[in-house]
Amino acid sequence: MKKLEYPFDVNYIMKNKRKIKKELLLKPGLLEKNIAILGGSTTSEIKNMLELFLLNYGIKPTFYESEYNKFYEDAMFGNEELDNFKPDIIYIHTSNRNIIQYPIMYDDEKMVEEKLNFEYEKFKKMWDKLFSKFNVSIIQNNFEYPYYRLLGNKDAVDIHGKTNFITRLNQKFYDYANQTKNFFINDINYVSSCYGLDKWSNQFYWHMYKYAMEVPAIPYLSFNLANIIKSIYGKNKKAFVLDLDNTLWGGIVGDDGVENLKIGPEVPSGQVYTEFQNYLKEHKSLGVILNINSKNEYENAIAGLNHPAGTLKPEDFIIIKANWNPKNLNIKDIAEELNLGADSFVFVDDNPAERQICKDYVEGLSTPEIDVPENYIKIIDHNGYFEVTNFSNEDLKKSEMYKDNAKRSQMMATFDNYDDYLLSLKMKAEITTFKPIYLERISQLSNKSNQFNLTTKRYSLADIESVNQDDTYIKLYGKLEDIFGDNGVITVVIGNIKNEDELHIDLWIMSCRVLKRNMEFAMMDELVKKAKERNIKTIYGYYYPTLKNKMVNNFYDLQGFEEISCDEQGNKTYKLDISKGYTNKNNVIEVEE
């Protein structure tokens, strides 16, 4: 919903939250999550706004809210309601109002240090306790700067200054976050500075209602928080689709000619486009892939991208659509060629009419409302499309992988027989039980895979860790490499052993990067082998249809399973008897365990 994307109209959202909520609840396929809010100040409206932004991301939250300022008690001593609530995420909403012992001028260095440790330990004990009890993701606010500075500018420098104290305390929080998986900082220090600290800290709202920020600032806080949560559940965007003329450079390459485009350091309007190109290019290191969608002659588009002052070059893009087709059709083609849902695209175009058409015709597409070039970065950035929570090394290589795929497609065209093509790739797979170094990637994959996903069961990192330690699961990951490159971990199967000789497949996912490579058969062979080692006689498979996973509708049929039930929603159960033998299906991939 456009209304809930940055820049949003706070008045409208706050006034119409009931109406907006009703509308958002109509969306199909919402992911239900329990979120516990432990507050050090009033949290009611924070919860309401968070609900809207999460619904907009396809997540339907149920909330637990601590009593006013009982965050510490709830965390340390627990309570029955919270225990029974079974949170998926715990959010600790604290502010500088919850700092008890600030330094005073009479304190010596040691005393200030003690106070710092006292404040830090209070939080650390709480986090440790919550992790040991619930083992779920924790999101913790850092602290906003104080609203007055007793020492003036020295408040930032001197150990007695509140500003200095808060800066040091925040750093300790970050150190903890860097050492702790599933622990995330909600950076209200940054959000409050973007908003304006004086306005944010409007003391009217503290003294009247015990809100730690002014009420109209709450949507910004909740939006920032919702971005972390949607990222944890794999709902980040994955790719840019970019227009060219007046988006990546000033002017129209076909009319003005390459030499007259505005880009480069000579003029202000050229600088602004250079900076924008740099910003986009930085995203490649996050695993975000870049594509072009422009109404242009292809030769002109390439000539523009080869402008000597441009930082983005043709080879930075995976797919370049420069033609005269409607842009919404180009986007659908790009989605198909990349095997990604169009809802994982951010379409950047300076023309509001093009944005509107694409938005109307491509379900789930994001089309940031960029206005003038000097605001492009801010508007895209503040939308939090690519919020980083779990970053894996796979992300660094993603653009290369998509490139390799393009090369494979070219090679495929030279073979008449598909098996010959597969053999020519000289594929090698590693298929084995989970290893600690891959747990993060496995969790990420379980949250990102929508199409080749039989049950669409999502696993947080904490969930994967507990599966990994549980002996009643057979859990396999698969890596695949070929002559063009290493695809990394691209498939996961989790089966649960029940009634001694039954294996129930809870999860079977595969990245669409490796479709039609027979990797799923190599996995099946390995799964059966592992199952036999555990004296399994029957394997049960499940298919739960969603809007996105039609491609695996008859997956278990292809694997030789027998369908034993199918309900009205199309949920299917399959079984395969392996006690009387099993013939391996893969003959194109060399597998090592």
Partner 1 sequence: MKREEVFERLNKVFRDIFDDESIVVTEETTSNDIEDWDSLEHINLVVAVEQEFGMKFNMNEVTTMKNVGEMVDIILDRIEGK
Nearer to partner 1, 15 or 133 (CB): 15
Please report whether residue 216 would count as binding partner 1 according to CB under 8 A: yes
Q: With contact defined as beta carbons under 8 Å apart, do 274 and 223 qualify?
A: no
Rounded Cα gap, residues 593 and 591, in angstroms: 7
Smallest CA-to-CA distance from 478 within 492, 468, 464, 465 is with 492
- Structure tokens belonging to residue 143: 């602290």
Nearer to partner 1, 203 or 325 (CB): 203
Binding mask 167-206 for partner 1 (x = CB under 8 A): -------------------------------------xx-
Nearer to partner 1, 19 or 110 (CB): 19
Nearer to partner 1, 18 or 110 (CB): 18
Q: Is 63 helix (H, G, I), strand (E, B) or coil?
A: strand
- Structure tokens belonging to residue 556: 């278990």
Q: With contact defined as beta carbons under 8 Å apart, do 404 and 485 qualify?
A: yes
Least spacing, CB of residue 197 vs partner 1, in Å: 18
Cα three-residue angle 491-493-494, rounded to 5 degrees: 145
- Interacting span for partner 1 (CB under 8 A) from 98-106, 109-117, 210-218, 422-430: 210-218
- Interacting span for partner 1 (CB under 8 A) from 15-23, 31-39, 70-78, 537-545: 15-23
Least spacing, CB of residue 383 vs partner 1, in Å: 24
Nearer to partner 1, 174 or 204 (CB): 204
Among 207, 500, 533, 569, binds partner 1 (CB under 8 A): 207
Smallest CA-to-CA distance from 98 within 160, 179, 176, 43 is with 43
Least spacing, CB of residue 81 vs partner 1, in Å: 19
Among 76, 157, 194, 208, binds partner 1 (CB under 8 A): 208
Q: With contact defined as beta carbons under 8 Å apart, do 246 and 232 qualify?
A: no
Where would I find the H helices in 295-375?
Answer: 298-305, 327-338, 352-361
Please report whether residue 215 would count as binding partner 1 according to CB under 8 A: yes
Rounded Cα gap, residues 7 and 380, in angstroms: 10
Cα dihedral 356, 359, 360, 363, rounded to 10, equals: 180
Nearer to partner 1, 25 or 76 (CB): 25
Rounded Cα gap, residues 283 and 241, in angstroms: 13
Among 6, 71, 143, 211, binds partner 1 (CB under 8 A): 211
Nearer to partner 1, 19 or 580 (CB): 19
Nearer to partner 1, 216 or 341 (CB): 216
Cα dihedral 394, 400, 402, 408, rounded to 10, equals: -120
Least spacing, CB of residue 210 vs partner 1, in Å: 10
Please report whether residue 26 would count as binding partner 1 according to CB under 8 A: no
Least spacing, CB of residue 63 vs partner 1, in Å: 14
Nearer to partner 1, 20 or 331 (CB): 20
For the sheet with 239-242, list strands across it: 317-323, 289-295, 239-242, 345-348
Measured between alpha carbons, how far apart are the two ends of the chain, in Å? 47
Nearer to partner 1, 215 or 334 (CB): 215
Nearer to partner 1, 215 or 522 (CB): 215
Least spacing, CB of residue 209 vs partner 1, in Å: 5
Burial class (CB in 10 A: 0-12, 13-18, 19+), 67: exposed
Among 15, 199, 378, 498, binds partner 1 (CB under 8 A): 15
Please report whether residue 68 would count as binding partner 1 according to CB under 8 A: no
Please report whether residue 1 would count as binding partner 1 according to CB under 8 A: no
Least spacing, CB of residue 36 vs partner 1, in Å: 19
Q: With contact defined as beta carbons under 8 Å apart, do 237 and 287 qualify?
A: no
For the sheet with 427-433, list strands across it: 562-566, 572-577, 538-543, 502-510, 485-498, 473-482, 427-433, 589-592
Least spacing, CB of residue 68 vs partner 1, in Å: 11
Binding mask 271-290 for partner 1 (x = CB under 8 A): --------------------
Rounded Cα gap, residues 130 and 157, in angstroms: 34
Nearer to partner 1, 218 or 454 (CB): 218
Least spacing, CB of residue 15 vs partner 1, in Å: 5
Among 209, 391, 415, 418, binds partner 1 (CB under 8 A): 209
Among 1, 14, 150, 302, binds partner 1 (CB under 8 A): 14
Q: With contact defined as beta carbons under 8 Å apart, do 495 and 472 qualify?
A: no
Distance of CA 469 to the CA centre of its chain: 25
How many residues sit close enough to partner 1 to count as binding (CB under 8 A)?
18
Binding mask 37-56 for partner 1 (x = CB under 8 A): -----x-xx-----------
Among 3, 7, 11, 268, binds partner 1 (CB under 8 A): 11
Q: With contact defined as beta carbons under 8 Å apart, do 185 and 174 qualify?
A: yes
| The residue to which tokens 């609530």 are assigned | 85
**502-517 burial, b if ≥16 CB within 10 A, otherwise e?**
bbbbbbbbbbbbbeeb
Nearer to partner 1, 91 or 211 (CB): 211
Tell me the C-alpha to C-alpha distance, in Å, between residue 151 and each of 113, 115, 155, 160, 197. 19, 19, 5, 9, 18
Nearer to partner 1, 154 or 199 (CB): 199
Please report whether residue 69 would count as binding partner 1 according to CB under 8 A: no
Contact footprint for partner 1 (CB under 8 A): 11, 14-16, 18-19, 22, 42, 44-45, 204-205, 207-209, 211, 215-216
